[in-house]
Structure 1
Amino acid sequence: MSEEHLAAGSACPPMNDGEVRLYGMRFCPFTQRVRIVLNAKNIPHNVVYINLKNQPEWYFKINPDGKVPALDTGDEVVLESLDIVDFLDQKFPDPPLYPSDPELKNRDKEFIQKFGKVVGATSKALHNKDNSPVDSYIEDVLEHLKEFEAELAKRGTIFFGGDNPGMLDYMMWPWSERSKIPSALQDKEFQFPKEKFPKLVAWREALKDVKAVGDTITSLETHVKFLKGYQGPNPKFDNL
């Protein structure tokens, strides 16, 4: 996997037989979701990174909107991270990432949808177009996380998926990884009330050591470098 983000004027790399291809962006949490699932299922794949400020002309044939992620199997293209991971879970069923019990599977899917509120609050803080204080972001996210702390306590396991992570765990991780970025962007220390969320704190520590997740992690320092330049006219995607 090359770290280079391809831009206008580049050629589309040829696909390899027996592999699926993920088009994404290195710092995109939605791309990371798919990378984690590809790793967890040991699916042969390669990743092509796209410069989202200056997309290659050929990429619009894959996704007319120019957005990432997009998955190309060679026979079809699947868009949107949640659609892609569900597609992968069906096409490559081993190991399964949802519970076999339909009711429990639906509950996990329900919590993935609920996590969208955390995604929205974190995204707003990461880009912070209205220069809101970071404390308001933290309060908003913590309010949404209360239900997840209670659910994890109810399940009585380290992961939402049980002894091993499942789809819900993997879909949450990219925003857990980015939780300290809004504070760092405002040169503040991140204050997370660990005593109120002991289950989620233990969950985070355990999940970051899972290889499928660990192989996708980007350091806080690198995330901050990228985001500080992203809103400018010539953001730097590579060599960070």
Structure 2
Amino acid sequence: MNEKHLGKGSTNPPLSKGKLRLYSMRFCPYAQRAHLVLDAKKIPHDVVNIKLSDKPDWYFERNPLGKVPAIEMESGDCIYESLIIADYLDEKYPQRLLHPKDPIQKAKDRILVEHFSKIPTNVYKLFHGSDIDPLDDILTDLDLFEKELTLRATRFFGGDVPGMLDYVIWPWFERIDAFKIVAPEKFVIPSERYKKLKEWKETMKEDDAVKVTYIKPEIHVQFFNSYKSGNANYDILVK
């Protein structure tokens, strides 16, 4: 998982028999969604990391958009986009279903995912400049999740164990502490306003699937700073 990221001039390793191939980038929150689902469901897979600033030509044959994540099957079929991948994996591999069985609850969780999609956009605006300060919008959207967790009165949005909603929003919560380090004057989250989310965040850190991909805030900051400087160090974690 922490292997060197492949760029132009590289060769794609052969597929492993009996395993899916996940194309990823170690610091990408969208790719982390796919990692979490694969690990939560214990689906055999290998990982090929892609250097997004210098993508290999062969990667566009797997994903014409050139983004991560993408997964490739032994058949050669490829699918991409994090939520599409998550849905596919949950349907294809029924062990430990992550989506709610109740269609109404599944739909409601989907609506929450749509609401959450505004948060990454506003975080990007916060760090890259915007005519309007987006922090209030971020906090308002977080209020929705604080309220929802309170109403459900469960440890996780999925109940006693994390479900799909927990996993697809987690990558941005993992990065909150890094955001606070990078821009403490901009990214101010009043902890008393989000008691349930704070408890949820600490409990999620103990989940086995989360532990597999978890990166400490200081390492996220190192990558963020290298990316911002125009020379992203994708291989910080390569030993």
TM range (shorter): over 0.9
- Give TM-score, length-normalised by structure 2: 0.92
1:49-68 alignment runs, 5 A limit: 49-68=49-68
TM-score by length of 1: 0.92
Partner AA of 1:43 in structure 2: I
Residue equivalent to 1:207: 204
The answer as to whether partners of 2:41 and 2:95 remain within 8 angstroms in 1 is yes
Identity across the alignment (%): 44
Q: After TM superposition, list the pairs within 5 Å mapping 1:130-169 onto structure 2.
A: 130=129, 136-169=133-166
Tell me, in whole angstroms, the C-alpha distance in 2 between the residues paired with 1:139 and 1:34: 29
Indicate whether 1:106 and 2:103 are aligned: no
Residue 20 of structure 2 aligns with which residue?
20
Deviations 1:109-151 (A, max 9, x none): 11111111112122333xx232789xx4543321111111111
Instruction: State the Cα distance separating 1:92 from its structure 2 match.
Output: 0.4
Cα deviation, residue 167, structure 1: 0.2
**Residue 86 of structure 1 aligns with which residue?**
87
Q: Which residues of structure 1 form unaligned runs of 5+?
A: none
Equivalent-residue separation in structure 1 for 2:130 and 2:183 (angstroms)? 10
After the TM superposition, which parts of structure 1 deviate over 4 Å for at least 4 consecutive aligned residues? 187-191
| CA distance in 2: counterparts of 1:138 and 1:178, whole angstroms | 16
CA gap of 1:233–1:121, structure 2 versus 1, over 3 A, is closer
Give the residue type in structure 2 aligned to 1:115. Answer: F
* Partner AA of 1:19 in structure 2: K
The whole-number CA distance in structure 1 between the counterparts of 2:61 and 2:205 is 35
Q: What CA deviation, in whole Å up to 9, does each residue of 1:29-79 have, x standing for no partner?
A: 000000000000000001110000111111111112211111111221111
The answer for the alignment partner of 2:179 in structure 1 is 182
User: How many aligned residue pairs are there?
Assistant: 236
Give the SS at the match of 1:235.
Answer: coil
Name stretches of at least 5 consecutive residues in structure 2 with no aligned partner.
Answer: none
CA separation of 1:195/1:231 partners in 2, compared to 1, >3 Å: closer, same or farther? closer
Take 2:62 and 2:98, find their aligned partners in 1: how far apart are those partners?
Answer: 27
Spell out, residue by residue over 1:149-208, the C-alpha distance to the aligned partner (whole angstroms, 9 max, x if none): 111111110101000110000011000011133332236596432222111111111111
